């Protein structure tokens, strides 16, 4: 692997890790909001919009963690199908990654579209908090963008490994003859 591609891979892995930390932070904040709501109910008061905030944080943590989880192999994959392909496994993986990147790209496009129109129209949540909806929607869009990037990254890595393997097999079967 050349210097540029190894540096790019390290940068992407760092990005995935940062988004994993952000997802963990969202889960921690969600815990704090829920605990605060429980404590405030015991005292006879409430935290307006706590349920909505917990929902926003859950959605944000799900999307922010997607790239890190995918990169670390934590998502349920189509392994049963791909493992049965034998020597055609890399081609099956490429096909699956190509389909997954299309689906993730579609989700990303619509996440940005929803955030954009919520911003343009000034949409706010219908709950007690009246939060501008583009704020949590933009976190979903950011997380889905990184997830799409992660899938495309794995597609490129798998494709490069397939070409390296094909090149190595070609050189083994056709050795250079000396004169």
At 45-86, the pLDDT tens digits run 988 888 899 999 999 999 999 999 999 987 776 677 777 888
Whole-number pLDDT of residue 173: 61
**In a domain? residue 178:** no
Q: What is the pLDDT of residues 135-177, one digit of tens each?
A: 999 999 999 999 999 999 999 999 998 888 777 776 566 555 5
Whole-number pLDDT of residue 32: 96
**In a domain? residue 15:** yes
**In a domain? residue 81:** yes
Whole-number pLDDT of residue 10: 93
Q: What is the mean pLDDT of the chain?
A: 89
Bigger pLDDT: 174 or 24? Answer: 24
Whole-number pLDDT of residue 78: 67
Looking at the structure of the chain, the number of domains it has is 1
**In a domain? residue 177:** no
Predicted TM-score (pTM) of the model is 0.84
pLDDT reading at 44 higher than 70: yes
Task: Band the pLDDT of 128: cuts 50, 70, 90.
Answer: confident
**In a domain? residue 33:** yes
The enclosing H or E element of 46 equals none
**In a domain? residue 174:** no
Q: Which two tokens stand for residue 150?
A: 């992660």
Residue 52 lies in domain: 3-169
**In a domain? residue 179:** no
- Do residues 80 and 156 lie in contact, with contact meaning Cβ atoms separated by under 8 Å? no
1-8 contacts, C-beta under 8 A, 24 or more apart: 5/160
Chain Cα centroid distance, residue 63: 6
């Amino acid at each position: 692997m050349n210097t540029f591609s190894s540096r790019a891979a390290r940068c992407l892995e760092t990005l995935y890790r940062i988004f994993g930390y952000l997802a963990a932070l969202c889960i921690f904040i969600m815990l704090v909001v829920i605990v605060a709501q429980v404590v405030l109910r015991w005292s006879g008061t409430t935290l307006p919009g706590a349920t909505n905030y917990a929902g926003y944080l859950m959605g944000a943590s799900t999307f922010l963690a997607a790239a890190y989880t995918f990169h670390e192999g934590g998502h349920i994959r189509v392994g049963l199908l791909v493992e049965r392909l034998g020597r055609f496994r890399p081609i099956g993986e490429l096909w699956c990654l190509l389909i997954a990147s299309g689906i993730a790209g579609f989700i990303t496009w619509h996440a940005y579209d929803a955030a954009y129109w919520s911003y343009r129209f000034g949409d706010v949540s219908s709950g007690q908090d009246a939060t501008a909806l583009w704020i949590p929607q933009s976190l979903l869009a950011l997380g889905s963008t990184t997830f799409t990037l992660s899938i495309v990254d794995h597609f490129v890595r798998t494709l490069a490994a397939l070409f390296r393997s094909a090149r190595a097999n070609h050189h083994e079967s056709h050795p250079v003859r000396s004169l």
